[in-house]
Amino acid sequence: MSCYKYWGKIKEISKKLSDMGGLNSYSGSSLDNIDISEIIKLLDEIEVIAHDREIDFDSAKHILDDEKMNEALTLIRKFYVYIGSRLEKENALKILKSDDPVSTLDSFHFYDRYIGLIENESQLVKFNKDKTFVFIGSGPLPLTLIMFNKLFKCKCIGIEVQTEVADLSRKVIEKLGLKRIEIIVGDEKSIKDIDYDILMVAALAEPKERVFANIWDIVSEKTPVLYRTYTGMRAILYSPVTEKDTRGFHKEVMILPTGNTNNTSVLIRKIV
């Protein structure tokens, strides 16, 4: 089915976002004053489009690559980054105040989707208690690290570029009473000082071309490198990783999302 059926809807959503404060609002000013329930309603409208299984990849590409949609897509993608960051931060702060932090973590808006995502990624690489897993771009609520640690008992290290975000995630881990999870302040070049078995790049880690180029300079050709991206109509949510971004790597396996999960998971290895 043609994705052009959503042309008008995408424009309508873009206008709603613009009316909320425009492109400059997503640094955290005007949208912060809008109740989270209203923000989620708008996210739901966007995800109806993103999750339409009747739209094939070629049809999605037609609309996502159309120059007339650039402004609308830019706004929607900025909003997606904003809402993800806000939901993570709000849940992290609730955990710190909670008498039942595990239940509070379980209430995170995207929690169930992470279950499917982790299941997919555990098919790409073998995780176990003897492995050390490094995640570049772990964020304020390090749910990926928490879930891999809980499910597979592996040592998990998150790399986060913002000091205040790293501090918050450390407090979350401490509140949850978790062991063998560490947060390091730095960027992708920090991996040169870490011993690890598996490396993953977060979907929102930027700039992609620089991140993968620096990883290529450091990583062994034997090390599995995972990354999360957006494919098909889900790319309305965020710009996908390109072949140019990952040049110098060989793509081994890709697992597409199912249900309401947004990320495609990809396994690559360095070419020498």
Tens of pLDDT, residue by residue over 225-244, are 999 999 999 999 999 999 99
* Residue 134 structural domain: 111-270
Does the pLDDT at position 23 exceed 90?
no
Which pLDDT does position 26 carry in this prediction? 44
Which pLDDT does position 29 carry in this prediction? 57
Q: Average pLDDT over the chain, rounded to whole?
A: 94
SS3 80: helix
Same domain for 252 and 127: yes
Domain edge (last residue) among 106, 140, 169: 106
- pLDDT above 70 as % of the chain: 96
Domain edge (last residue) among 86, 106, 126: 106
Does the pLDDT at position 245 exceed 80?
yes
Q: What size, in residues, is the chain?
A: 272
Three-state SS for 187-198 is CHHHHHHCCCCE
State the average pLDDT over residues 25-34.
67
Contacts of 169 (CB under 8 A, 6+ apart): 92, 138, 139, 140, 141, 142, 158, 160, 183
Same domain for 98 and 29: yes
pLDDT (tens digit, 9 = 90+) per residue, 109-150?
999 999 999 999 999 999 999 999 999 999 999 999 999 999
